[in-house]
Structure 1
Amino acid sequence: MLDKAELRKRIIRWLEDNRGLILTVIGLPASFLFDLVFQVRNWWYRRFLSSPSQHDDRVRAIQRQVRTWAQGDKSKKMCTARPNWLSLSTTFFNKNECHKVSVPLYDILSLNEDKMTVRVEPMVSVGDITRFLIPKGYTLAVTLEIADATLGGLAMGVGMTTYSHKVGLYQEAVVAYEVVIADGSVVRATRDNEYADLYHCLPWSHGTLGFLVGLELQIIKVKPYVHMKYIPVHGQKKYCDKIRELSGANDATKETPDYLEATVFSKEKAVIMAGTFADVQTTKDRAKINHVTKWYKPWFYKHVESFLDQGESEEFIPLREYLLRHDKAIFWVLESMIPFGNHPLFLLCLGWMLPPKPAFMKFTTTPAVRAMTFTKQVFQDIVLPMNKLEQQIDISERLFDTYPILIYPCRIYDHGGHGGQLRPPRPDQKCPNDSTWGMFNDLGVYGVPKKVRDKQRFDAVKAMREMEKFTQEVGGYPFLYADIFMTRSEFEAMFDLSSYERVRVKYGANAAFPHLYDKVKPEIDVVKVGREYMDPL
């Protein structure tokens, strides 16, 4: 007779082996209905309840909640009442231990075409803002590829995109933050006003300094299409050198494409994508339009991979479709869930239900599935210096051996004496002819490590801690939406929290909001769980 541990292993093995079938038959339809309910709710809100003119009233309601907390039992610190499963983080912060404050702010407030800014409430999503701006000839300077990501979540966390080699991280495109601080007052923080210290510490703070109630964001002028050039490169040094060259990492005066990224399909093979804003006016160019997000189209990264054999090519992609090109396959994470999901027959028949909504996947996460999110998979975005790109690829292959890998070049600025959680780039990381910034990149590693695919012993804890050690040594930073494996002291060695701690004291956040480390650390003991799930099933 099987004991409980062996029975659990067999059940998990069966679920893993049949995950694609289960997700197709049960998960996708349920996710589609789940999303439909939310779309109806959002439509109802925008049609009957939305009113930018009532923004100040909604903010005053939030202030009253904070002041009520301040006048009562302050044994519990504050957090938003938004359910955990609506966030894109892989972790589940225990909000039941906090005093929850409702922050129902979903409106686009105003567009200032003279100042090239848009003012929004924090719960506006990437999908919302692209629908609003692109028909008017604009987009955000930094636009994430996932439609469900919220602009406030990106502001309090971090965002990076394929325009970041020109402007830097999402935080560089924030003109102003409007924040309700611990005493219930509202402050407007900009980079050069009396709240500049708060302005520089809000990015990467994950809601631990105040409640965000408004954002003013930089926008850029655009054209309807992106003229995309696909450049396949064979040889690690060649593609690393090529992307450094195209990004302007070696020469700040060099003209660069509007959008730039690379997808690495093996240690020696990559496709670099260089896009420029374009109009499509001729019959010849119209024939090259590719609607990459149509439900029957292959997943974007599979389309990109085809150029390794086809050779260099070009096409025109409608701008909004380019910006959301990875949404359908959640980059390439969906392949580990539905291995046959890119088959033409599947796409034709069921592609319209893709992707399974992240909120639904998180809402239905069980403890066993939660453990699998880091013991059987890797899902990490890491900011690393581009002069160490070859080493990044090498260590990722050694530790995880999963491809593709995403590379987005991104400027990291030296803001001098202004504080923030990121340290200035080191001298050897800075652009040779512009000492105000260094070229870094997002290393996106998503998928199932080869050892797990081969049913071999995989120590996720050891692998991730080694990756974090490398990240700290070269002056990089992991995005904090994903699981971290650092102790508190290791976290404080990686991030510069000196200004953050001063700001917490100055604005009363110590007594009012959880500390950053406590907010972003995994809600489970990753080391203990990692050991339990390490043995192959």
Structure 2
Amino acid sequence: MSTQVWHDRAVDRLREQLAALPEGAPIRLAKPTSNLFRFREPPTGQALDVSAFGDVLYVDPLTRTADVGGMTTYERLVDATLPYGLMPLVVPQLKTITLGGAVAGLGIESSSFRNGMPHESVQEMEILTGAGDVVLARPDNEHRDLFHGFPNSYGTLGYTLRLRIELEPVQPTVALRHVRFADTAACAVAIERICAERSYEGRTVDFIDGTVFSGDELYLTLGAFAGGASGLSDYTGRDIYYKSIRERATDRLSTRDYLWRWDTDWFWCSKALGAQHPVIRRLWPKRYLRSDVYRKLVALDRRHRLSDRIGRLRNDPAREAVIQDVEIPVDRLAEFMDFFHADIGISPVWLCPVRLRTDTTWPLYPMDPATLYVNVGFWATVALDPDEPDGTHNRLIERKVAELGGHKSLYSTSYFGEDEFWALYNGTRYRTLKDAYDPRGRLPDLYDKCVRNR
């Protein structure tokens, strides 16, 4: 049976599942993993089994494209493309992020300064809409408004069943340079120059991201494809990637290990779970050093409020989860980081430059194609003063990002008022799409999902 016939039969079975739902029942998916940080009680009622849409249908090395199920993880996608010497144009940092999730919820990585975001390499999407239809959305057909409005819709307009994406050629390894800067202003100037020239000190730059350990210790990590397979570092076991950034000026990884360099320790967040303690590290099975395991542990902690209970027993101050990724125009980066160091105080912080790949605009996340942004990622908790309510620091960040002309990703907790939210995320266009593709409201509303957490 061809993969296309197999896929078409899976679509038919999904339609049968949908038809069997009670009239007006909400549509939701049975998904084994999530990379969102909006924790809530599991919804009740029947969920659609979409496990049949978690595979790569085929890779075409001649056209450098792949047809991929919407629930396919990037780990599985990369494993399917690397044998052809190809990779997706942007591979988000965590293995269990799905292609459909990265397109509906945005994604970013160190190739984003030249390749934009994952949705920009999509050629077509097969989407199950809230109306119960399966439509093919392309940038040039009758569903082009849905194609362009799908990014940042977070499953509130529909779910991708199949996507056709562009791929790019790779080499076996990635050579790294970790370049230190003493202040954010100098780092921002370097980011702008490197992204414009795609080189640094006469050598090509294929990847760029940064790590901020303090206001006067910042590193840009510059990667370039390379040949050979000797002298490679391994950060999938005892050694920890982010620590190496301060310890060595150059490094080399296999291309696969480079793509997943952040997953083993969830950037640096595994430290809070004890996974970086030398004794625990030796005992922790290597196959469980990965982001989805850590997230399940965090979800368990949230569900049973274990950390909160321990904190109360120790009379520790209440803490607010500050888990966000924001895009700041590069010329305002120093201003944002000065605020961040003074008022928030989380470290390390991740930096990742991003510019839209083309002049095409995406209405629900309206970035300026002419502007180079820097994604700033921070994931920790901050102590609250006795008179500060939960959300104090997140609200400060939201106001500063808006003031600087930036954007905030919606994968985590948000505190926007409804009018402000729709002004930032194009409520007029969203409502038109919602009325067209989910007229009975069987999928959640974007504001309800991302702010009210419903």
| TM-score, scaled relative to structure 2 | 0.88
Instruction: For 1:152, give the aligned amino acid.
Output: G
1:423 is aligned to: 366
Question: Which letter maps to 2:49?
Answer: S
Contact 1:143 1:323 in 2 (8 A): yes
After TM superposition, the structure 1 = structure 2 runs for residues 64-463 of structure 1, keeping only pairs within 5 Å, are 64-69=16-21, 72-74=22-24, 76-82=25-31, 86-92=33-39, 96=43, 100-104=47-51, 105-248=53-196, 257-280=205-228, 286-287=230-231, 289-293=232-236, 295-297=237-239, 299-307=240-248, 313-338=249-274, 341-350=275-284, 352=286, 353-355=288-290, 356-363=293-300, 365-366=302-303, 368=305, 375-412=319-356, 415=359, 420-425=363-368, 436-449=369-382, 451=383, 459-463=389-393
Amino acid at match of 2:296: A
- The structural deviation recorded for 1:93 is 5.1
Q: Shift of the alpha carbon at 1:97?
A: 6.1
1:213, CA displacement in angstroms? 0.8
Asked if the contact 1:52–1:107 (Cα under 8 Å) also holds between the matched residues in 2, the reply is no
Shift of 1:437: 2.9
Q: What is the CA–CA distance in structure 1 between the aligned matches of 2:414 and 2:308, rounded to whole Å?
A: 14
Give, as a single letter, the amino acid of the residue that structure 2 aligns with 1:394: D
Q: Which amino acid aligns with 2:401?
A: T
Query: In structure 2, do the counterparts of structure 1 residues 54 and 465 end up closer, same or farther at CA, with 3 Å as the change threshold?
Result: same
Are the aligned partners of 2:211 and 2:350 in contact in 1 as well (CA < 8 Å)? yes
| Residue of structure 2 in register with 1:6 after alignment | none
Q: Match for 1:300: what amino acid?
A: Y
- Cα distance in structure 1, aligned partners of 2:197 and 2:422: 29
- 2:235–2:264 CA contact under 8 A, matched in 1: no
Looking at structure 2, the residues matched to 52 and 360 of structure 1 have their Cα atoms a distance apart, in angstroms, of 38
Residue 41 of structure 1 corresponds to: none
Within 2, Cα distance between the matches of 1:91 and 1:196? 30
Kindly state the Cα deviation for residue 411 of structure 1 after the two structures are TM-superposed: 0.5
Counterpart Cα distance in 1 of 2:69 and 2:297: 24
**CA displacement 1:482-506 (0-9 Å, x = unmatched):** 1111122221122112222111112
Alpha-carbon distance, 1:447 to partner: 2.1
Structure 1 residues 330 and 177, CA gap change in structure 2 (3 angstroms): same
Count of equivalent residues: 441
- Please state whether the residue corresponding to 2:28 is helix, strand or coil: strand
The amino acid that maps onto 1:443 is V
Counterpart residue type for residue 279 of structure 1: G
- The amino acid that maps onto 1:178 is E
- The one-character-per-residue Cα deviations of 1:274-327 (angstroms, maximum 9, x if unpaired) are 11111027xxxx33x21222x121x211111224xxxxx222210111111111
8 Å Cα contact 1:248/1:256 also seen in 2:
no
Q: Which residue of 2 aligns with 1:474?
A: 404
Deviations 1:305-355 (A, max 9, x none): 224xxxxx22221011111111121111122232xx434444334362424
Deviations 1:104-137 (A, max 9, x none): 2211101122221111112211211122211221
> Aligned pair 1:517/2:447, yes or no?
yes
> Hey, what does 1:431 align to over in structure 2?
none
- Partner of residue 26, structure 1: none
Report Cα offsets for 1:134-160 as digits up to 9, x if no partner: 122111101011112111111211100
Q: Report the Cα offset of residue 165 of structure 1.
A: 0.1
CA spacing shift, 1:119–1:314, aligned 2, 3 Å: same
Structure 1: distance between partners of 2:197 and 2:138: 28
Distance 1:321 1:419, change over 3 A: closer
Matched residue SS, 1:403: coil
Letter in structure 2 aligned against 1:230: H
Rounded Cα–Cα distance in structure 2 between residues aligned with 1:136 and 1:414: 26
2:156 alignment partner, SS class: coil
d(CA) in 2 for partners of 1:510, 1:442: 36
Q: 1: distance between equivalents of 2:40 and 2:364? A: 21
Query: 2:241 is matched by which residue type in structure 1?
Result: F
**RMSD of equivalent CA atoms:** 3.0
Note the C-alpha offset of 1:51.
6.4
CA distance in 1, matches of 2:440, 2:401: 28
Native 8 Å contact 1:141 1:220 kept in 2? yes
Whole-angstrom CA distance in 1 between matches of 2:88 and 2:375? 19
Contact 1:67 1:183 (C-alpha < 8 Å) held by counterparts: no
2:6 corresponds in structure 1 to 54
Could you tell me whether the CA contact under 8 Å between 2:270 and 2:294 is conserved in 1? no
Q: State how far apart, in whole Å, the 2-side matches of 1:264 and 1:408 are.
A: 11
Secondary structure of 2:163's aligned partner = strand
* Alignment pair present for 1:494 and 2:424: yes
Following superposition, the deviation at residue 222 of structure 1 comes to 0.1
Change (3 A) 1:115 1:411: same
TM-score (norm 1): 0.75
Matches of 2:117 and 2:189 in 1, distance apart?
22
Q: In the superposition, relative to structure 1, how do residues 91 and 240 fare at CA in structure 2: closer, same or farther (>3 Å)?
A: same
Equivalent position SS for 1:303: helix
1:384-416 CA distances to partner (integer Å, 9 max, x unpaired)?
A: 211211012112212320111100000136746
TM-superposed deviation, 1:245: 1.4
Give, in whole Å, the separation in 2 of the partners of 1:370 and 1:217.
Answer: 42
Once the two structures are overlaid, the 10-residue window that deviates more, 363-372 or 343-352, is 363-372
Structure 1 segments unaligned to the other structure (5+ residues)? 1-48, 308-312, 426-435, 525-537
In structure 2, distance between residues paired with 1:274 and 1:457: 43
Say if 1:208 and 1:509, in contact at 8 Å, map to a contact too.
Answer: no
Bigger radius of gyration? 1
| Structure 2 gap ranges (5+) | 312-317
As a proportion of its length, which structure holds more helix? 1
Contact 1:51–1:107 (Cα < 8 Å) also in 2: no
Gap change, CA 1:509 and 1:116, over 3 Å in 2: farther
**Cα pair distance change 1:492/1:376, threshold 3 Å:** same
Contact 1:504 1:510 in 2 (8 A): no
Q: Cα gap change, 1:370/1:522 in structure 2, threshold over 3 Å: closer, same or farther? A: farther
